[in-house]
Structure 1
Amino acid sequence: MGIIPREGIFNMDCVVLLLKKSIFNPTLTLPIFLALQYTSHGQNLLSTLAASNNADIIKLMSRFKVLVALAVVGRVNHHLSKGSMNNWKKDVFTPNKEIVVVTGGSSGIGAELVRQLTKPGVNIKKVVVLDVQPLLYTAASNVASYKVDLSNPADIAAVCERVKKEIGNPTVLVNNAGICRGKNVLDATQKDIELTFAVNTTSHYYLAQQFLPAMIKVNHGHIVTVASAGAYVAAPQMVDYNSSKAAAQTFHEGIAQELVLRYNAPKVRATLVTQGYIKTPLFQGFQSDSKFLLPALEPETLVIEIVDAILKQESRHILLPRAYNFISGIRGWPTWMQNRLRGKTGKLMTNWHGKQVLK
C-alpha cells in the first residue's frame, strides 16, 4: 500500500501510515538521535540548547527521545512477530513452479485476487478457481476454473482430485469463499445456519485435508484463511456469519501450530486475514458509522496485502482497516467497554441486501 490509501486521506489508516513512515520510522529518527548523542557537532548542539534554558526546546528533545524509543520498540516487535509467525525459517516463492487455489474466485475479493495474481510479470504457473458459479470476468490464460459446491464434502473431494490430476498439487490454498445470509438468529433456517458454517468454516478443513499433505511432504506451501473482523465483534443479523468467521480464525491458529508441532513442516506458511467492510456484492447496503476509523475498503486494498504475503512466502496477520488492531483485543476489555462497542452495531445490517449465490 502506498502512502495515500485508495480510500482517501481523511481516515485513520492514512494517519497511521504517515506516522509510520515519518516520526515512527527508526530508519529516519534513530540516525538523528545517534548523531546528537555521539558526534561532536551533535553534542555541541545539545550543550548549546541546554545552556539556553528554553523550556520548550528541552521538552521537545525529551519527546523526541520517547518517539525514537517507541519507533525502535515497534521495529523490534515487528521483527520478532514476523520471525515467530514464520518459525524463524526462510523460504522462497518460485512463481513458475507454484499452483495457487482460490476459493470463491468468481467475484468480489476472490476475483480481485485472481486478477492480481495473474498480472503481467507475476508469472505464476497456474491459478485455480474453485467456485459454485462460473467466472464473471475474462481471466488470464493461466487460470483454470472448477465448479464445486463448498457445502458438500463429497463434491470438494471429487473436484480436488481432479485438480491434482489435471493441474498438479497446489502449493498455495486461499480459503476465501464466504457467504452471509443476513438474518436474525430466530429467523434463520436450519439450511441458513448449516450453509453458512459449511462454506465459511468446515470447507477449510476438507480443502486442507486434500491439499496440505503434498505441501507438508516437501515442506513448502501456504494456506491463507480469509476470516473477518466480524470474528471479534458480533452484530445483529450476522451472528451465524460472525460465529463461522471466529471458527475460521481458530482453524487458522490451530493449523499453523499443527504444521510445526505435528507435521514438522515449519516452512508451510499460514496467513490470517481479518478484514473489515470491503466493497463487494456480498455486503451491499452494509453501513459503517465510523468512516474515519473504519472506512469501507476497496477490494484491491486488501488483496494487494494478501498477494504480497504470497509472493514473499511469508506468514502474516493482515488486519484492515488498522483500527481493528485495537478492536481485536475486545475480549480483554472491561465488560462495560465491550458492551458499549457492541451496542453500536445495531444499524450495520439494517439496509443490507448482499448478493446470494446459494439459495
Structure 2
Amino acid sequence: MSDIARRRWFSREGFTADVLSSIVRNTVLDPSKTFLAQVLLHYAPPTATFLAQKREVVLKWLRVAFALGLLRVFNAWLSRRAINRGVSDKFDWPREIVIVTGGSNGFGKNIVLMLAARAKARIVVLDILEPQYTLPAGVRFYQCDITDSSAVAAAAEKIRTDFGASPTVLINNAGIIYARPLLDNTEDQIEKMFKVNTLAQYKLIHEFLPDMISRNHGMIVTVASQGANCTAPGMTAYCASKAANINLHEGLASELVTRYKAPRVRTILVTPAYAKTFVTRDMDPEDGFLSPLLEPETVAEAVVNQVLTGKSGYVGVSAAANFITFNLRSMPLWFQSLLRDRLDRTIKTPLVKHPWVRNE
C-alpha cells in the first residue's frame, strides 16, 4: 500500500464525520497553519482590498484557533508520553515475530496482508480455521484452538522451535459473536463468546508475555469493540465479553510498569465500530455520517498504522462514534439510556443476506 493511499483525504466509506474532523484538525486546529495565517494577515498591506475592515475580526478568530490547536497538540503529546511511560523503544520489524489470532479471515486477514507488505515481519496466523487466502512470504499458519490452554502451549512451543525465538508482538484479534437478546443466547453461545473473546486473550498473554517482560520489549494488541463502551440491546453478552477486554488492556498496561518493571512492553487497544465482516451476519448495522459501516481494510489499516509506530496507543475506529461511546459514562443518564435504546434497531435479522457474508 502506497503512502498516498494511507494519507487519503476521503475514507473508503465516503464523506463521514471522521473525514470532516480530519480536515478541521489539519487546517483550523493546526497551530502551525493558524500561526502562519496570523503572520501573513498581520503584515499584509493595509490597502489590500480583501482585508477591508475584516482584519481584526479574522485575527481574533485565528488567535482562538491557534490557542485551541496548541491545547490539542499539547494534550495529545501528554497522552502519548503518559501511555508510553516516557520511554522509547525500537522495533526492527524484519526481525520481530508477530502473532495474529483469527488471522484467517475478517480483520485478521487484512492485518496479516498489510503487515506482510509494509513491515516484512515474520508473521504467525493462529486460528482454528485455515486461511481463506494465499499466505504472503514470511507468513505461517498454525492451527490452534486458542480457547484450549494445552493447544496454545503446544503451538507456542512449535513456534519457538520453528522461528528460533519467542514472539515479540501478540495481536489478540480473534472474536466471535451471536447477536441475540440475552435470553435468546444459549448457555453454549455465551460460554463460547467469553472463551474466544475474553479467556483466550488471558491464555495467550500468559504464554507469550513472560518472554516480553524478561527482555523489556514487545507489544500486546487488544482488539475490543465500541460495544464494549456502549452495550447495544440484542448483543449484551457479546458487549460484556468485549468490555472485559478493555479492563484487561488497562490493567495490563499498569501492571507492566508497577509490577513487572517492563515499561517498554507496548499495549494497544482497538475499538472498531460495525464493519462488513461475518460478525455482522445477523445484524442490520447502521451506516451513517457519524458511524459508517466500516470496510475491514479500514480497521486493519488503523491497527497496522499504530503497531508500526512501535508505541502504545488507543485506536477508535470510527473516531467520531468512538468519542461518543468512550465518553458515554460521563454523560447524563437520560442520554446514555436514549443512545442504548436507539441502538436496538441495528440488531435485527436482515431480510436479505449481506453481500459480504459468504459463509453460513
TM-score (norm 1): 0.90
* 2:19 paired with 1:14: yes
CA distance in 2, matches of 1:59, 1:327: 36
Q: Which moved more, 1:347-356 or 1:279-288?
A: 347-356
Q: Which amino acid aligns with 1:123?
A: K
Q: Secondary structure in 2 aligned to 1:346?
A: helix
1:319-330 counterparts in 2 under 5 A? 319-323=316-320, 324-330=322-328
- Retained in 2: the 8 A contact 1:279–1:296? yes
CA distance in 1, matches of 2:38, 2:204: 51
CA distance in 2, matches of 1:349, 1:327: 17
Q: Secondary structure in 1 aligned to 2:222?
A: strand
CA distance in 2, matches of 1:65, 1:290: 37
Q: Which amino acid aligns with 2:120?
A: N
User: Alpha carbons of 1:71 and 1:112: their partners in 2 closer, same or farther (altered >3 Å)?
Assistant: same
Q: Which amino acid aligns with 1:116?
A: M
Match of 1:107 in 2: 105
Match of 1:318 in 2: 315
TM-fit CA distance, 1:287 = 2.8
Match of 2:28 in 1: 23
CA distance in 1, matches of 2:87, 2:230: 34
CA distance in 1, matches of 2:156, 2:192: 20
Match of 1:253 in 2: 250
Q: Which moved more, 1:84-93 or 1:220-229?
A: 84-93
1:33-182 counterparts in 2 under 5 A? 33=38, 41=43, 54=53, 57-119=55-117, 122-124=119-121, 126-167=122-163, 168-182=165-179
CA distance in 2, matches of 1:17, 1:308: 16
CA distance in 2, matches of 1:67, 1:288: 36
| Pairs aligned (count) | 347
CA distance in 1, matches of 2:18, 2:41: 32
Q: Secondary structure in 2 aligned to 1:183?
A: coil
Describe the superposition over 1:225-250 as per-residue Cα deviations: whole angstroms up to 9, x where unpaired. 00000001112221111000000011
Q: Which amino acid aligns with 1:77?
A: N
Q: Which amino acid aligns with 1:216?
A: I
Describe the superposition over 1:188-237 as per-residue Cα deviations: whole angstroms up to 9, x where unpaired. 22211111011101111110111111111111111000000000111222
- Select 1:234's aligned residue among 210, 215, 231: 231
CA distance in 2, matches of 1:263, 1:356: 44
Q: Which moved more, 1:178-187 or 1:156-165?
A: 156-165
Q: Which amino acid aligns with 1:33?
A: Q
TM-fit CA distance, 1:7 = 1.0
- Retained in 1: the 8 A contact 2:179–2:282? no
TM-fit CA distance, 1:164 = 2.0
TM-fit CA distance, 1:158 = 2.2
Q: Which moved more, 1:286-295 or 1:316-325?
A: 286-295
TM-fit CA distance, 1:48 = 9.7
Unmatched 5+ stretches in structure 1: none
Match of 1:264 in 2: 261
Q: Which amino acid aligns with 2:13?
A: E
Unmatched 5+ stretches in structure 2: 1-5
- Select 2:276's aligned residue among 279, 286, 299: 279
